[in-house]
Amino acid sequence: MGKKFSFPLYIIGLVVIGGKDPKTGNERCHDVFISVFYKKKNLKCWEDVGAFPSTHACSKWPKVRHDVGHTGPADEMQIAMVEMQQFKGLMEICYECIQRRS
């Protein structure tokens, strides 16, 4: 049986989203997610499979009917605020899990 290997769980966060290692002070960690899932590469993957990503961009075209479900700036701001709160909550949960395991 081989040797067991372990490392602090915060290292996973550094690998995925980058940042500064609090123990070594190393700031050379970069955001792997961004380096892999950037827009040009994402669109190339969709092109390779002969499909296209579903977005809300089509709703801005002048030929698209806007009679039902059109939102104004106030609604868009509310949606953005809810999304930010949900993301903040998710990040707090991740941080708590990492803290418990460290």
One pLDDT digit (tens) per residue for the chain, 102 residues: 678 777 777 777 777 777 777 888 877 666 676 777 778 887 888 888 887 767 777 777 777 666 555 566 677 777 888 888 888 888 888 888 788 876
Q: Are residues 44 and 90 in the same domain?
A: no
pLDDT computed for residue 35 by the predictor: 73
Q: Are residues 7 and 40 in the same domain?
A: yes
Distance (Å, whole) CA 19 – CA 29? 6
Distance (Å, whole) CA 22 – CA 8? 12
Tally of domains within the chain: 2
Residue 61 is assigned to a structural domain of this protein:
no
Q: Are residues 36 and 78 in the same domain?
A: no
Distance (Å, whole) CA 51 – CA 67? 28
pLDDT computed for residue 9 by the predictor: 76
Residue 75 is assigned to a structural domain of this protein:
yes
Q: Tell me phi and psi for residue 29, to 5 degrees.
A: -70, 130
91 lies in which domain range? 71-102
Distance (Å, whole) CA 34 – CA 21? 18
Whether pTM exceeds 0.85: no
pLDDT computed for residue 70 by the predictor: 55
Count Cβ atoms within 10 A of the Cβ of residue 94 and give its class: 0-12 exposed, 13-18 middle, 19 or more buried: middle
